Amino acid sequence: MSTQSDGLAGRDPSAAPDAAQLCELRPGVYAWVQPDGSWWVNNAGAVSGDGETLVIDTCATARRTHRFLTALGDVTGGAPTRWAVNTHQHGDHTYGNSLLPAATVLIGHERMREGLRTDPIIDGCPAFWSPIPDWGRVRRRLPDVTITAAATVHVGERRVDLLHPGGPAHTTGDLVAWLPDDRILFAGDLLFAGLTPLVFMGSVTGALTALDWLAGMAPEVIVPGHGPVLAGGEIDRVLDEHRRYFQFVLSEADRGLARGATPLEIARDARLGEFADWADAERLVLNLHRVHADRAGHELDLVAALCDAVTWLGHPMPTSV
């Protein structure tokens, strides 16, 4: 057994890298679903047709990305990955970019590109998480093609619309991949199915607005950025859960700010209620920092926010990446 596996001893085996699975949603449309979806353990996807493939996001580590690309190559008969798109800048969706073939054209929102260009965490993860993630042999690889609003990639007979929600939501440079003919939506981190949503590098009100934008597409299947694939009635249920969570964050923030409380103090007084069972609950502190910064009209201090999340939790944030 490898050292990396040994490092997972005692952790939930259902979140191990080999628990990830490639699910074929329609012929040639794939979701790479990685349990348990908590910190740094993301979902990705792909669309393949006429001997070419579009990859939607990579993974945080070389090991997880290699597993994804190998599984994809097996089902597509090694069809070349002509394009790839990053749904946003975060490392769980982008650090594996350098494992894509050199010839792959990588697409992202222009602010996503800038975010990854200046991301310090790929160069060495700080001790906010435990165990401290080891990304493996990855290097920063930025999009070759940037967009600001929309673009369409034609994969064989299928059209894949890459769409920006119109403002900050999960981050400032989000894209979704929408397959209008199949009504399948790769939502990136605009949705976390069954896990605490994270919007501290975007906007809580923008994330709320983006939910209506997603619902307006009337998707039949959604691949969220984290958590299981959603279909049918699960979609409205998860959208409503997100709405209630973001309203909860906004109301807690406004009540706390009215009495001059800090984000950490507000989080300590808050009752999570129906959201208490979601993994990564400490994101409440990060999301409150975002409201606080937006209300005060200043930049969010990422390090201070992450320090407060660790303080609220009482220990570094757990990860199975």
- Interacting residues with Zn ion (CB under 5 A): 90, 189
CB within 8 A of 248, min separation 6: which ones?
A: 273, 275
Q: Which two tokens stand for residue 317?
A: 């944030």
Nearer residue to Zn ion within complex by CB, 48 or 61: 61
Rg (CA), the chain: 19
Nearer residue to Zn ion within complex by CB, 90 or 113: 90
Report the distance separating Cα 253 and Cα 186, nearest Å: 30
Q: How far is the CB of 171 from Zn ion (least distance, A)?
A: 7
CB within 8 A of 128, min separation 6: which ones?
A: 306, 307, 309, 310, 316, 317
Nearer residue to Zn ion within complex by CB, 189 or 280: 189
Report the distance separating Cα 216 and Cα 212, nearest Å: 6
Q: How far is the CB of 124 from Zn ion (least distance, A)?
A: 19
Q: Which two tokens stand for residue 314?
A: 């009482």
Residue 227 carries which DSSP code? Answer: S
Nearer residue to Zn ion within complex by CB, 2 or 118: 118
Q: How far is the CB of 61 from Zn ion (least distance, A)?
A: 15
Q: How far is the CB of 227 from Zn ion (least distance, A)?
A: 13
Report the distance separating Cα 188 and Cα 42, nearest Å: 9
Nearer residue to Zn ion within complex by CB, 90 or 111: 90
Q: How far is the CB of 284 from Zn ion (least distance, A)?
A: 16
Look at the alpha carbons of 113, 117, 120, 121 in this order and tell me if their dihedral is positive or negative. Answer: positive
